[in-house]
Amino acid sequence: MMKQTLGRLLFLLLTLSTVTFASVKASLSNPAVYEGDMVTLTITADGSDILFPKIDNIAGNPVQGTSSSQSISVINGVTTRTLSKSYTFRATKTIEIPSYEVKVDAKVEKTAPLTLKVVKPTASQNGSDFVVEIALDKNESYVGEPLNLSLSFKSKLNAHADQVQLGEPKLEHFWVKKRDDVSKKSEGEYVVQIIHYLLFPQKAGTYEIPAIEAMIGKVAQRQSRGGFFDDPFFNRLTQELRWQKIYSNSLKIKIKPLPNGLEVFGNYEMEASVDKQKVHANKPVNLTLTIKGEGNIDDIQKFDLDIDNVIVYADEPKITASEIHGIYQGEFKQKIALIADANFTIPSLSLSYFDKLTQKVKTIKSKPIDIEVIGGTTQATSKASTIEVGKTAETPQVLEAPQNKAISTKVVTKTEDSYVKYLFLTLGFVLGASSILVLNYVRKKEPKKESDMIKAIRKAKDDQALFSLLLPHSKKHKVISEVLNQLEENLYRGGSNVIDKERVMEVFEEEDFE
């Protein structure tokens, strides 16, 4: 009996020590990596109730992704639960990863600190089977002045790669545009493929274009054990790619600021035109502004007009650009609608930029355009200014009675029955009120005749047609102004506003200001 009791106690102690035992450890996917490589820190714990720390950054490097995994094992009747949580980040420099606290079965455990070593990649050298190189057409440039960057991948004639993955330039303060063409050539014992990029500097300073990574994949055959599966078909299923990582050289470049805070570089010409110079009051005049040239035309900003007593609707500009014969060039086009009820002048529009040919600040301007508004307030005002205000009323003549003639005055007194007076007054009021009620009743019974404007609104097929109809009346009612804003958002800013035509037609019915 005593032996049985001791045996049970021993079993209980062993079980409890297994359940309460907890271990926590941290590990890195690689203890040493190249600058810019992705690294994964994994924290693993054994226990029943595990709470991992919330980690947003690791030694100043933002965590870009997390994942979890779990495994349960039973050994000699003892169940062990293992949880792992992984944190992925991009390594930029050598860092010390601190100790983290993990709560395991109501106990706080700590991981051991780790060191991650980050080294700068060594550029591949001529003579190797594969070489990656980058080059610029110049080492100095102005803000906005395009640069040509070439990325060359060289492979020896007898070298073999089953798959090649080339990185791309990733630069802060540069706008990078990949060109469509890929050129090929032979260079000694190498076959060279060249990918071309255009770089547009956005900010002055001295920058380093970091080394670009290339991944060379070669098929590695898994060792076969022979037998039925020792067959070419099944061998293909067991193939895997083994990757070799190589790097290009890095480059430094100096970007100089443009004078006077300018942002546009190149060589341009400007033209402004209208669809008409005579227009009826409250009808739109459409202005088209066109800028053509070479340079960073994508950085030209939208033009806005501010003209007194003129409603202005400016579209977003449309820019088309491409590289032709090695020069980046294109066209900037913006349409602006203007509505007024008086003559006005579209002012000269100007663009200042740093000229690539003269290396000086240059300003180009459009010509002012006079617009004559027919039937507007300008004509009415000018006529009113020449019209005299009505003549002063003549002084009434005073008739004097003859001095020597006697004047007889006859006073006639007329009496009126007050009862009859109030009777007729009351009768007149009742008859008048009854007439108004009858007229209103008849009007309601009569079908309303739709005006031409309401018919046009009802027939408007799309937002553009309705926008053109309402534009001349934008200042006449709050509802019309609101609807025009909604239409403008739908047409030019990707909006999806639902337009209530009935509400608009009610305004025209009530106000009658067509």
Phi, psi of 325 (to 5 degrees): 55, 40
161 and 200 in one domain? yes
In a domain, residue 101? The reply is yes
In a domain, residue 324? The reply is yes
Q: Which of these ranges, 172-186, 280-294, 394-408, has the smallest mean pLDDT?
A: 394-408
139 and 32 in one domain? no
> Hey, what are 406's tokens?
């006697």
Dump pLDDT digits (tens) for 223-261.
Answer: 555 555 555 555 555 567 888 899 999 999 999 999 988
Answer whether residue 284 shows pLDDT above 50. yes
In a domain, residue 394? The reply is no
In a domain, residue 24? The reply is yes
* Per-residue confidence band for 391, with pLDDT thresholds at 50, 70 and 90: very low
* Per-residue confidence band for 179, with pLDDT thresholds at 50, 70 and 90: confident
CATH of the domain at 75: 2.60.40.740
pTM value is 0.54
Q: Give burial (CB, 10 Å; 0-12/13-18/19+) of 116.
A: buried
Answer whether residue 59 shows pLDDT above 60. yes
Determine the pLDDT at residue 494.
Answer: 81
* Per-residue confidence band for 274, with pLDDT thresholds at 50, 70 and 90: very high
Answer yes or no: are the C-beta atoms of 28 and 96 closer than 8 Å. no
353 and 243 in one domain? no
**Higher pLDDT pick, 110 / 80:** 110
144 and 115 in one domain? no
Looking at 201, 227, 256, the residue that finishes a domain is: 256
177 and 228 in one domain? yes
Angular region, 85: left φ>0, alpha ψ -120 to 50, beta rest: beta
**Most confident of the following: 114-128, 354-368, 374-388:** 354-368
* Per-residue confidence band for 335, with pLDDT thresholds at 50, 70 and 90: very high
Answer whether residue 387 shows pLDDT above 70. no
Full domain range(s) for residue 61: 19-119
In a domain, residue 56? The reply is yes
Q: Report how far residue 497's alpha carbon sits from residue 34's, in angstroms, rounded to the nearest whole number.
A: 51
**Higher pLDDT pick, 280 / 23:** 280
* Per-residue confidence band for 402, with pLDDT thresholds at 50, 70 and 90: very low
Spell out the residues 6+ positions from residue 313 whose beta carbon is closer than 8 angstroms to its own: 336, 337, 338, 339, 471, 488
Determine the pLDDT at residue 2.
Answer: 39
Q: Report how far residue 361's alpha carbon sits from residue 265's, in angstroms, rounded to the nearest whole number.
A: 9
Which residues are bridge partners to 355 per DSSP?
Answer: 266
Dump pLDDT digits (tens) for 433-442.
Answer: 666 665 655 5
* Per-residue confidence band for 327, with pLDDT thresholds at 50, 70 and 90: confident
In a domain, residue 410? The reply is no
373 and 273 in one domain? yes
Average pLDDT for the chain: 80
Answer whether residue 305 shows pLDDT above 60. yes
Looking at 61, 84, 119, the residue that finishes a domain is: 119
Specify the DSSP element, H or E, that contains 329. strand 327-339
As for how many domains the chain has, the answer is 4
Packing angle between helix 478-492 and helix 501-511, nearest 10 degrees?
A: 150
In a domain, residue 73? The reply is yes
187 and 102 in one domain? no
Answer whether residue 368 shows pLDDT above 80. yes
**Higher pLDDT pick, 249 / 511:** 249
342 and 276 in one domain? yes
Looking at 237, 256, 275, the residue that finishes a domain is: 256
**Higher pLDDT pick, 80 / 399:** 80
C-alpha distance from residue 260 to each of 147, 173, 401 (Å): 22, 19, 91
312 and 273 in one domain? yes
Share of the chain above pLDDT 70, in %: 77
Calculate mean pLDDT across residues 173-201: 91
Q: Which of these ranges, 119-123, 171-175, 337-341, has the smallest mean pLDDT?
A: 119-123
Answer whether residue 285 shows pLDDT above 90. yes
CATH of the domain at 146: 2.60.40
241 and 134 in one domain? yes
283 and 250 in one domain? no
Answer whether residue 363 shows pLDDT above 70. yes
**Higher pLDDT pick, 20 / 443:** 443
**Higher pLDDT pick, 480 / 73:** 480
In a domain, residue 252? The reply is yes
80 and 145 in one domain? no
- DSSP states along 256-306: EPPGGG---EEEEEEEEEES-SEEETT--EEEEEEEEEEE-GGGPPPP---
